[in-house]
Structures are given as structure tokens and as C-alpha cells.
């Protein structure tokens, strides 16, 4: 194959996969949306890792104050776990072609996610009422920053959830594409659950 033919390839186009399969080896078996999601999660993971390192490093300064963790955080953690479980059930039902049950679990997952977000806002409200303001101490600022970033990424996921849930109300001629979208939402929610669990443990231990 000449260098010009190699440079003219368009690997993002569907027909390119068929061309690639004629060569030695085959094109990737992972759908492009799945690969894109993995890249996104890697970027998000790096972002939270950097903030966590900064958080731990800032603790060494003498002005650091311990922020009490409201009991509501435990409840919120349970809610997001249930939301992730609901997405798992939605994925299973989508693979089996049971759109009705998939829709029910998608709606449940969305409601639980909104419940988690509202619960986090109540945590902020409780902390503010006790005088733990963002500007009061770096530890307080880090808490609000990390939880806000997590909520922001949940809102991003809710956009995809809205699209997938809307599609669940439309008759599906081919369920494989719909099943993939549900599965990607579930993967993203599992990932954000892991992120929140690690953040919560870090906050508890420090």
C-alpha cells in the first residue's frame, strides 16, 4: 500500500472497516461511541486525580481545617448506588429486547440521579448554615469544588440519559443500537459511582 493510499483512508467512516478487513488483521471490534466514552472517562479520571493530589498536598499547610461530613452524604451515596444498579437492570432488559422494562429502569435511574443531586445540594445548604463557606478555608473550598465537578459530570450524563429514555418510547425496529446506548449510559454511571466512592472515602479519611 502506498503512503498516499494510507493517508487518504477515513477510519471513522463505516465503509472503511470493510476495506480494512481485507488487509492483514481486522478493524477494531469496539463501536466508535464506546471508544469515545472510554477516552472521556480517562480524561475525567485524570481531572479528578489531579484535584485529589492537590487536595492531599494542600492538607500539609497549617491553616487546613477539618470539614465535618454530614450524615446525608451516606444517604446520597446509597442513592447513587441504586441509580447505578437501575442502569445495570436497564442494560440487561435492553439486551433481552424488553423495551418496556428497560424504560422503567431508565426512568428509575434518572429519578434516583436527580435525587442524589438534590441531596448534594442539601448537604451544601447544611454546611453553609453552619458557617462552612467556600471562602472560609481551603478544605471547605475543595469540598464544594469536588462535589460540584461530580454533579456537573452527572448533568452531562443526564443529557445522554434523556436521549436514550426518549428513544425508549419510540418503537425500535433494531434494538442492538438502542441496547448499546443504554449500556454506554450504564458504564458512565458506574464510572461516576466509582469516582464518587473514591472521593467520599478520601473525604472521610482526611
Q: What is the pLDDT of residues 175-203, one digit of tens each?
A: 788 999 999 999 999 999 999 999 999 98
Task: Identify the pLDDT of residue 30.
Answer: 73
Residues whose CB falls within 8 Å of the CB of residue 94, separated by 6 or more in sequence, listed in order: 102, 175, 178, 179, 182, 183
Residues 22-80: pLDDT tens digits? Answer: 555 445 567 898 999 999 999 999 999 999 999 999 988 888 888 888 999 999 999 99
Tell me the pTM: 0.83
What's the rounded Cα separation, in Å, for the pair 38 and 157?
14
Per-residue confidence band for 17, with pLDDT thresholds at 50, 70 and 90: low
**Is residue 117 very low, low, confident or very high in pLDDT (cuts 50, 70, 90)?**
very high
Domains and their CATH numbers in the chain:
1-30 (no CATH), 32-205 (1.20.120.80)
pLDDT band at 12 (very low <50, low <70, confident <90, very high): low
Q: Where are the alpha helices (DSSP H) in the chain?
A: 3-7, 14-20, 32-58, 72-95, 99-129, 138-168, 175-205
The number of beta carbons lying within 10 Å of the beta carbon of residue 70 is 18
Amino acid at each position: 500500500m502506498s503512503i498516499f493510499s494510507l493517508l487518504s483512508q477515513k477510519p471513522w467512516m463505516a465503509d472503511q472497516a470493510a476495506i480494512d478487513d481485507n488487509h492483514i488483521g481486522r478493524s477494531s471490534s469496539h463501536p466508535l461511541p464506546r471508544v469515545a466514552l472510554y477516552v472521556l472517562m480517562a480524561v475525567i479520571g485524570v481531572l479528578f486525580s489531579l484535584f485529589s493530589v492537590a487536595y492531599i498536598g494542600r492538607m500539609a499547610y497549617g491553616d487546613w481545617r477539618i470539614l465535618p461530613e454530614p450524615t446525608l452524604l451516606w444517604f446520597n451515596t446509597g442513592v447513587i448506588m441504586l441509580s447505578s444498579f437501575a442502569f445495570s437492570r436497564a442494560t440487561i432488559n435492553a439486551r433481552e429486547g424488553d423495551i418496556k422494562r428497560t424504560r422503567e429502569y431508565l426512568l428509575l435511574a434518572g429519578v434516583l440521579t436527580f435525587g442524589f443531586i438534590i441531596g448534594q445540594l442539601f448537604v451544601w445548604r447544611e454546611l453553609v448554615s453552619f458557617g462552612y463557606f467556600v471562602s472560609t478555608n481551603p478544605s471547605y473550598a475543595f469540598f464544594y469544588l469536588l462535589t460540584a465537578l461530580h454533579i456537573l459530570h452527572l448533568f452531562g450524563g443526564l443529557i445522554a440519559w434523556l436521549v436514550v429514555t426518549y428513544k425508549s418510547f419510540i418503537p425500535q425496529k433494531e434494538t442492538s443500537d438502542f441496547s448499546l446506548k443504554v449500556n454506554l449510559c450504564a458504564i458512565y454511571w458506574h464510572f461516576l459511582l466509582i469516582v464518587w466512592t473514591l472521593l467520599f472515602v478520601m473525604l472521610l479519611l482526611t
